[in-house]
Amino acid sequence: MGDSQLFPVNTVVQMVDRSRNVKIQSRIVGWESEHCVIVDRPVHGSDSVQLQKGTAVVVRGIHEGLILGFQAAVIAQIINPFRLLFLTYPKQVEEQNFREHKRVNTEVEAFGIRRKHDLETMSRSEKAPRGSIRDIIRGGCEFSFHFRLEEGMPIFISCDLPDGSKAENVMGHVRSVRRDASGNVYGVQFDDRSGSLDGISKFVELSLNVLSGEPASA
């Protein structure tokens, strides 16, 4: 399998611990072709998750309008100099287009507000800075935004999702920063205490169920 079929570095992914059916979040850090995939420390909510060597996991995420997924097993987990998890390199990556194989552009326009006290006056207004959500998962998203942000900074995101649902003032924190041809791209981890994740959760559940073959919940 070619590396071009894997998720790009910094893609936010969901992992399912198959032994306990626990869903956790992480992001792709890198890989060694045909040997291993490296992901950031997995978290469940705000808590770090320890996975034992040999644990079977399913890794899923969204990239360029496709839901991608693969099966792997934990090789090792280290804490120094960084908390990283090493997974077996996938033999195959499954992919599905959104919603009955119809391709949906995941370049979703979004509004980003950097300060909480601006929410009431600027949310979805003409003054609100615009960006775009590229990839999205229950625990976070990749957000393209022309304003400069630093790791750890909060941001509030609003958008209309491809399935017709809305996300309003979802609070997140910047966990990674990179630059590409379009400008600044941020890995944002949602804060599940913000109470505004229902629309995103339903959209992601629908999308990931397409890949897993599970029926969408009502």
Can you tell me the distance from the alpha carbon of 193 to that of 122, in angstroms, rounded to the nearest whole number?
Answer: 22
DSSP 148-208: ---TT-EEEEEEE-TTS-EEEEEEEEEEEEEEETTEEEEEEEE-TTSS--HHHHHHHHHHH
Q: Which of 9-18, 75-84, 118-127, 198-207 has the highest mean pLDDT?
A: 75-84
Report yes or no on whether pTM surpasses 0.75: no
Average pLDDT over residues 165-170: 79
Determine the 3-state secondary structure of 112 from DSSP: strand
* Domain range 3-100, CATH class: mainly beta
Average pLDDT over residues 135-144: 78
Q: Which of 6-10, 34-38, 110-114, 168-172 has the highest mean pLDDT?
A: 34-38
Domain coordinates in residue numbering, the chain: 3-100, 108-212
| pLDDT higher at 208 or 177 | 177
pLDDT over 90 percentage in the chain: 16
Average pLDDT over residues 171-187: 84
Can you tell me the distance from the alpha carbon of 127 to that of 2, in angstroms, rounded to the nearest whole number?
Answer: 44
108-212: CATH number:
2.40.10.220
